[in-house]
Structure formats: C-alpha cells, structure tokens
Structure 1
Amino acid sequence: MSETPLLRVEGLAKRYGALKAVDGVSFDLWPGEVLAVVGESGSGKSTLLGCVAGLAESDAGSISYDSRHDGIVDLRALSEARRRWLLRTEWGYVHQNPRDGLRLGITAGGNIGERLMAVGARHYGRIREEAQEWLERVEIEAPRIDHLPRTFSGGMQQRLQIARNLVSRPRLIFMDEPTGGLDVSVQARLLDLMRTLVTELQLSVIIVTHDLAVARLLSHRMMVMQRGRVVEAGLTDQILDDPQHSYSQLLVASILQG
C-alpha cells in the first residue's frame, strides 16, 4: 500500500444556518480503497460528498489530494477551473439520478466521447471506437451508440453515466446513492458491474448510500454518520457484524428486521 493517502480530509465542516450538516469530519482514503459513507437521510453524508468533490463549499477544515501531475494539492485553495479539470480527468462523479450526470441531448457515444475530448482526444474514429468499447463494457449493446440517453431505461442510463465517468481513466470516483431508485434486479446487476470495474481499474471510491447491503458488497471501510458527525468508522464487515455505537446498532438492526 502507498505510504501517502490519495485523499486526506481533516476537520471538515459545513453549516446551513444553525444546522451543522457536516461537523468536524476527518478521514483518509487510500489508493484502491472503497469507502462507504452510510446513515439515514439528513445525516450529512451527501453534503460531505459534495464538499469533498468541490460541488459545495465547506466552511472549515482541509482537503488534500495526491494528484497525478502536481503532487499533493490543497483542494479548498484550488481555483474553480482547476477543480473542474480534476472532475473531468482524475475524478468521476456518479449521481443518484443519471440524468444529472448525462447530456440528454447528445447520443450515448457522444456522452462518452465528450469526456475523452475534454482530456485531449481529437481523432473521431478512435473516440468512437473507444466509446463503443465502453458501452459494451457496461453491458450496453454497441448499436445503441447513436441513441439518445432518454431512450434508455433507468439502469442503462446509470451504466452509461458510469462509462462516461470511467473512460478518462480517473483515479477517484465519488458515488452518491448510485443504486437508488432502481428495481432490485437492476440494482443487483449494476452492483456486480460496479464491483468488477472498481477491482479491474483499481479505483479509489467514496460511495454514499443508505443501503448497508451496497456498503458490504462494494466497500473495504465504512463511516457511519449521524447529524453531521462520524459516530463510527472501521472495516465494513467489522461494523456490520459487530457495531459498537448505538446508532450503528440501530441501522444494522433495522435491516435485519426488514
């Protein structure tokens, strides 16, 4: 394992008026590691993800990232343009609603190709060929390359969004409830695909989910959030099999009872 974390978050805080949405959260993410952030709605997990990914501005704390070309950078001090560049190149962001992460007015191939062009690809034939390869990799038939995303099912849209994010070979992926709103059978297929791709590409991932089964299947470590704070953190299986905090115990018990 690398001696330097890919991402280090220390004392991160975000307020909305009197509400402490994120309250002094700290963690490290290591290369090739999947970290699940779990908790009920309103626990602060999605706000935390947005702050770390630069989609929301935090009020306090530090976020450092070991970038591919510039070494360790202070994410809170980066310009908006530099953050956007990271999101297009070294990072990916998979939204719960795939329509938030896709360009609905351009074809499936165009959605993937656009990301390649953002990192410098210019040869149309190669871009189209790579887009087709990625469609097949996420189990979308190659002839659908010229179809608009709105003609796809929800599960196919989510797989297309994943392909769009991964085509540029990012190092870090943020996922916000990626299986939310999908039928159980579709969820299972998507989770299996995600686990395969994360392993093959050695991705580092922060995944926000309220579904502990998703956390168990995909993540190495887990953080449990309640009212903006991390109340328990550790190996995923350890927390799910033997939760120590009363809130973690409640979450696990609610799944068992369900």
Structure 2
Amino acid sequence: MSVPLLQAEGLNLRFGTTTALDDVGLNLHPGEVVAIVGESGSGKSTLLRVLSGQLAPADGSVLYRDADGRSHPVHAMSEAALRRLMRTEWGFVHQSARDGLRMGVSAGGNVGERLMAVGARNYGGIRAQAAEWLRRVEIDDARIDDLPRVFSGGMQQRLQIARVLVSRPRLVLMDEPTGGLDVSVQAKLLDLIRNLVADLGIAVLLVTHDIAAARLLAHRILVMRHGRVVEQGLTDRVLDDPQHPYTQLLVSSVLAA
C-alpha cells in the first residue's frame, strides 16, 4: 500500500453540548475514492470541513503529503497557503454549483481561471483546453462564452466539475455533488464523475447520504453516526455484509425504498 496522501488521527470537535467529531481518523491513498456516509447530523460534512482546513478540530491532526512527498499539517498552514493548495493540488466540488462557480464569468472563463492558477498563460491554449473540458463533461463547446446562470442545475454542476478537474488535482473533496438534482440527472452525473476520476487517477473524498452513489464511486466507505465512525472497510464488504446495526439500518432502508 502506498503512503497516504491524506492522514487524519484523533479528530475531536464539539459545538456546545453537541459532539460533532469523536476520535475520528482516516487514511486516503493516491488514486483512492473514499465515501463518508451517514444521515444528516452524523458529522460527515463537519469532517469534510475539518479535513479541508476550513474548520479546526479541538484535538487531532490532519497531514497532507504533497507531490514531492513532503508532509504538511493542514491546520498549521496559513490561509494563503491553504487557498493556494485548494487552487492547485486540491479541488472542492460543492453541493450547490453556485458556491463553486463565478456566475458572472463565462463557462470557458470559469475553467480557464483554474488553469491560470497553475501557471497557464497562453490564451489560445487556455481556451482550447476549456473547450475540451466542456466536451468532456458533456456541455456543447459552442456555449463556452455563455454565463453559468443560463445553464440548468445539472449543467452548472458539470461545469463546476470541469473547473475543478481541468488542472488535474491530486485530491478532490466532494460534498453531496448530486444533492438537489433530479434522479435521472443524478445518475448521469455519477456516471460522469466515475469515468473522469478513473481516467485521471485522482483521490476523492466523497461526502454523501446516498448509499447508491457510494457503491458506484467508492473503493472504501466510512459510516458515521453521532460524530463517530461506526463501521468502515471495502465498499462492497460493508454494504453487502454490514456489521453495525446502524449500517444495517441504512442499507435496509435503501433496499426497502
């Protein structure tokens, strides 16, 4: 097994009397997709915010190993360094595409900005890559100069994915990427994400309440309840033979739906 790309240990966090994270740890390896699942209030989105440096834990550590093998304590990084990391080696796909796009900038401009953040300067080359990525996420490249606000919700989410993946980040964090979309749109988007992630070989942390999405995308799965990881392991093993009563309840509720 390779050295972990992201490593978290002993994460604890409380909001008043509510336990948000209780001794949570995880490892994410290069090219691996790990899903964090659980109901609303389970702590999964809080965990993602802590892992991405947006929120500091009361205890514990998060280490990121860069492309040169150097280890960086995420919560010791300056805001500027963390922003630079998020523009280059990391990416974040928001549940609402509007949080991940610049709505007053063209579709091509949204993709091109990310390329410029990693050093691209040739306008023709940037525009050509933007057009290619629009096609890769199944948006007609004739719409390269359209503003995202005239796109459907599904198209906006695909544009956000193109913006994040164009620079080939090593790690992408996804927060309910299919939330709020119609079921038919969700299925096509999940298929698109699966193919792109496999093609690029990137590592993904996926937060979702959707067991079907976790099964389709993830190599491993962590099940959270009340701020604790109650079960984890290979996705098929956990979902086909759940050991914890809460995981059994989650799986059975999906099967009964």
Match of 1:35 in 2: 34
> Using the alignment, how far apart are the partners of 2:88 and 2:69 within structure 1?
13
Match of 1:239 in 2: 238
TM-aligned CA deviation for residue 71 of structure 1:
1.2
TM-aligned CA deviation for residue 44 of structure 1:
0.4
Match of 1:206 in 2: 205
> Using the alignment, how far apart are the partners of 1:65 and 1:41 within structure 2?
27
Question: TM-score normalized by structure 1?
Answer: 0.98
> Using the alignment, how far apart are the partners of 2:102 and 2:21 within structure 1?
31
Question: TM-score normalized by structure 2?
Answer: 0.98
> Using the alignment, how far apart are the partners of 2:55 and 2:112 within structure 1?
27
Runs of 4+ residues deviating >6 angstroms = none
- Residues 168 and 202 in structure 2, CA contact (< 8 A), matched pair in contact too: no
TM-aligned CA deviation for residue 125 of structure 1:
1.0
Match of 2:249 in 1: 250
Counterpart check, 1:23 vs 2:22: yes
Match of 1:162 in 2: 161
Match of 1:62 in 2: 61
Higher mean C-alpha displacement, 10-19 vs 27-36 = 10-19
> Using the alignment, how far apart are the partners of 2:156 and 2:239 within structure 1?
31
> Using the alignment, how far apart are the partners of 1:14 and 1:48 within structure 2?
9
Q: Gaps spanning 5+ residues in structure 1: where? A: none
Look up the equivalent residue of 2:33 and give its one-letter code: V
Alignment of 1:84-99 (within 5 A): 84-99=83-98
Match of 1:139 in 2: 138
Secondary structure of the corresponding residue to residue 194 of structure 2:
helix
Match of 2:4 in 1: 5
Match of 1:82 in 2: 81
Match of 1:104 in 2: 103
Match of 2:121 in 1: 122
Q: Gaps spanning 5+ residues in structure 2: where? A: none
Higher mean C-alpha displacement, 14-23 vs 125-134 = 14-23
TM-aligned CA deviation for residue 232 of structure 1:
0.4
TM-aligned CA deviation for residue 164 of structure 1:
0.4
TM-aligned CA deviation for residue 69 of structure 1:
3.8
TM-aligned CA deviation for residue 17 of structure 1:
1.4
> Using the alignment, how far apart are the partners of 1:209 and 1:220 within structure 2?
14
C-alpha deviations, 1:18-72, integer Å up to 9, x for none? Answer: 2111111011111111000000000000010011011222221011111114611
How many residue pairs align between the two structures?
257
- Residues 223 and 231 in structure 2, CA contact (< 8 A), matched pair in contact too: yes
C-alpha deviations, 1:62-101, integer Å up to 9, x for none? Answer: 1111111461111111111111111000011000010000
Higher mean C-alpha displacement, 210-219 vs 9-18 = 9-18
